[in-house]
Structure 1
Amino acid sequence: MKFELKSTDGLSKARAGLITTGHGKIETPIFMPVGTVASVKGVHQRELKEDINPDIILGNTYHLYLRPKTDILEKAGGLHKFMNWDRNILTDSGGYQVYSLSANRKIKEEGVKFKSHIDGSYHFFTPENVMEIQRLIGADIMMAFDECTPYPCDYNYAKRSMHMTHRWLDRCVQHFNKVPPKYGYDQALFPIVQGSTYKDLRIQSAEYIAGVGAEGNAIGGLSVGEPAEEMYAMTELVCGILPQDKPRYLMGVGTPINILENIALGVDMFDCVMPTRNARNGMLFTAHGVINIKNKKWEDDFSPIDEMGITYVDTYYTKAYLRHLFAANEYLGKQIASIHNLGFYLWLVREARKHILAGDFSEWKNKMVKQMDNRL
């Protein structure tokens, strides 16, 4: 994997870069649609590629391991071929899913024993077998196995967890170097900074992760319930330590405003289920604010969903029609809203890149943050 830094913003830490992998180029900053189980919810690959048009999407090791299982993915020739996606894929290691299964898992030094949410069967993840699973999945970018701490989190627990995540990382790197890629292209491994919202732990973790010399680095354990100000403080701190010449990925973040503020702090890559999850509940993100399409005010509004939108659904359908689909509980409504929101997120990061390259990012970002905070 190769990363080139193309431009930086004069008034902030925002960066425009270019990642190159075996599946092509990724212009940063980038938002990665979440395709947890080899599918971005409610979106055909054709729509994903032609309308939303991301350079990279995200899959999840935990979910893909349980279903369809790695033997099926291996027979298919990897996740790219299985889902017919010829661009980049990043896989989360499953650490976050293990965190979210707090009632059904047990964490030890060796690894994590957990109970499947599908059939209740027991499984065991270690740093070593998570590397093997991701090799079989065939992601272009693999994540190291970590423990994602909750918020709030006791200091001593956060410290113990961080050190264990570092020890797990050492095991991940060792095993990653032992097990070669399977499908004829290279895979990169990103370690993950932890430390909850404790400044000294975040500094220690960021320094440890920076010292590994990986091809890119991730920031985990945020967007788990902490106030936005805490997220920004930790991100700014960590970005000041992580190498300038490697991409930085903030995991699981967030709202459009969160994304712009974190781009300003030096983050290059994002993912979040919010655009599709909120879409399924009738919430549409736009450059001028948030629309709750279920509101009665849209019942006879025959204007396009979003005249500024980049996807075909934005001008093909009206607000009144989309509201009707939600009122009638037609799944098409959720699909339309999902395509719109994902298209908006990709538009947003690409506009951010344009303004970084043009040298006026900070002024544009401040204007956009104010606009997007409206409820329409």
Structure 2
Amino acid sequence: MTGRPMTTPGVSVGDVLALIRANAVATRSDIARVTGLSRTAVTLRVDQLLAQGLVTERSEGPSTGGRPPSRLRFAPDAGVVLAASIGASRAQVAVCDLAGEVLAQNEFTVPAAHEARAVLSAATDHLDRLLTERSAAPVYGVGVGVGVGVPTVVDAASGHALSPADLDEIAVSDLFRTRFSAPVRVDTDVNVLALAEHARRPGVNDLLLLKASTGIGVGIIAGGSQQRGAWGAAGEIGHIKVSGGIGRPCRCGDTECLETVAGGWALLEQFTALGRTASDLPALADLAAAGDPDALRLVRQAGRSIGEVMAAAVNLLNPAVIVVRGDLSRAFDPLAAGLREQIYRRSSALNTRALRIEPAAPDAPTGVQACAAMILDDTLAPAAINARLAC
């Protein structure tokens, strides 16, 4: 293993845990070499982590003549985090371990005409039931926290969601914090997914995560950092006015928004107007993927409409990749054909010459896994571990 030694005064027990979690060190000797800590200082920090159950230590290393070295591993079963990924048409909740692996999960439908607070309350009820079912698990162990993704603008500092329809602030973080007595992190669903996709592509510092589903939004990674804007509304492209939306009313209360021609709810209405039926947006997307002419035409046109708006984002931000997620990505080929048609026609050649437009990988994190990863970044950060252990 290699690594540039850190200065000893700045190497806390939380820093040591971060090295172990990242598999950057495997033994106490590795920690001393990488950090510059003395043997005594290494022992103090490792013993604190062992006492909290955050790491395990077993003699598994190769022997060089004496007793084999004990190897350190992060212990994901030391606690749990809760995750709630709430979309415009359905929501998923889960209990996850400290590695973000789902231990138990549930899903419920979000009614078309819903009251946001009722949906959030339902999410907490479902999480409560999952915790009760896992009563033998270390529910309130080290690292517990709640990660929440919602399909609307979020003030990241306060954890309040802001509905574009009625501009009514909802204290999402307070609701979950009161229910579970744990740290809470809330963000827009597309921002949560963008963070997860960026983590899978550490060499890509400029990325757009397009979620094309019941609603339409973009998560922005620029220069390696997530961009939320002054009020958390960066990426709200679903409510940009488009040429094909003339006179069409939007769910936000305005008219002519992109969602009125390319949002999932609008596509289902258009499909019904053709005398066809689909039970939901995934079913419509599957029909398009299977080559159904009507569904294929609607999805491709949706791609063109979204591409009309995305072209401006490409010119402004010059991303290396656009990752497409959401229910419409089930029909990726016709959707991407429409996207590329408009993006390449409306964007400069310099901005598109190496641009990749691709679906999420089959093993990409789900919404709840992305929410779990988001809160784990907070609860297992060195500063959070140090505060918990009063270091």
Q: Same fold (TM over 0.5)?
A: no
Specify the structure having the higher radius of gyration (Cα): 2
Sort the TM-score into its range (normalised by shorter chain): under 0.3
Higher relative contact order (Cα pairs below 8 Å, separated by 6+ residues): 1
TM-score normalised according to structure 2 size: 0.25
